[in-house]
Amino acid sequence: MAMSEEEKDALTNQEAAEGAADAKKPASKLKGLSKKKKILAGVLALIVVVGVGFWSWHETPEFCVSICHKPMDSKYLDTLYANPYEKAVDKWGNDVEYAGAMLASLHGNMGKRCMACHEPAIEEQVTEGLEWIAGNYMNPLSERDLARLVFYRHAGETEFCLNAGCHNITKSGLTELTANMSRNPHSWHHSEYTCSDCHKAHRASVMICTQCHDDVQSPRGWLTYDEAKNLDTQYMSWNEEQFLNS
């Protein structure tokens, strides 16, 4: 049966409409896919921004205080932010005549923060985390000498300070630098001494030479050996703890 012209036109229009609908389907799918990509890109960008922000915060003393080391809130940050040319108070509450006698103040004045020296290894973080949860820690925290700072890093004690990223000088170079002093504190004639025996971070540094030599003049704000022994609060050194516990 032959189709009339009107039926042919109707069929043509229907096919055209169906073709147009089919043509729209891929574009719709592409549009949906593009939208998903935009959302994914936005989420990834947000993660990156948050991650960068968190890492930047992670590098600040305020992070250390708020997350783990609550005892550091005032006792430690005050030594870090102290003006090195003014009087200050150490982590135990002792007066320090000249804040520059504390390494924390000197390094803080140069823009250094906790992680510049306290860059813990995984084992150390786990140990400290468990101590924090159990409340098994001193307040203020026990003092760390170089032996403890490098214990988990398997590094040399002297190299902790004398390295290309910090004090780029050798032992012999350091000895020559202070050779004009009446008693050269860096002569290394006492092999048992390391940098942290004299240089203290959160309390006044100690001129260890005064233990034997009465004619040694201590730098401004530093303590003599006897004065350091008589501080109001003095913890046993980590080396002594290891010796007694062995």
Residues facing 224 on adjacent strands: 207
Pairing of strands 206-207, 223-224: parallel
Tokens of 116: 């510049």
Report how far apart, in Å, the C-alpha atoms of 72 and of each of 87, 115, 204, 206 are. 20, 14, 17, 22
Q: How far apart are CA 183 and CA 216, in angstroms?
A: 7
Q: How far apart are CA 22 and CA 228, in angstroms?
A: 87
Q: E strands within 90-224? A: 95-96, 206-207, 223-224
Are 142 and 235 a contacting pair, CB within 8 Å? yes
Q: Domain locations in the chain?
A: 61-245
Per-residue pLDDT of the chain (246 residues; tens, 9 = 90+): 555 655 545 545 555 555 545 555 555 555 565 777 777 776 677 776 665 555 565 566 666 666 655 555 568 888 989 999 999 999 888 999 999 999 999 999 998 888 788 877 888 878 877 877 787 777 777 788 888 888 887 788 888 999 988 999 998 999 999 998 888 889 877 777 889 999 999 999 999 999 989 888 889 999 999 999 888 765 555 444 544 454
Please tell me what DSSP assigns to residue 114.
Answer: G
Q: Tell me the pLDDT tens digit for each residue of 118-162.
A: 877 888 878 877 877 787 777 777 788 888 888 887 788 888 999
Q: Tell me the pLDDT tens digit for each residue of 218-241.
A: 899 999 999 998 887 655 554 445
Q: Does domain 61-245 sit in CATH 3.40.50.720?
A: no
Q: How far is CA 210 from the centre of its chain?
A: 33
Q: How far apart are CA 196 and CA 144, in angstroms?
A: 9
Which of helix, strand or coil describes residue 33? helix
Which of helix, strand or coil describes residue 88? strand
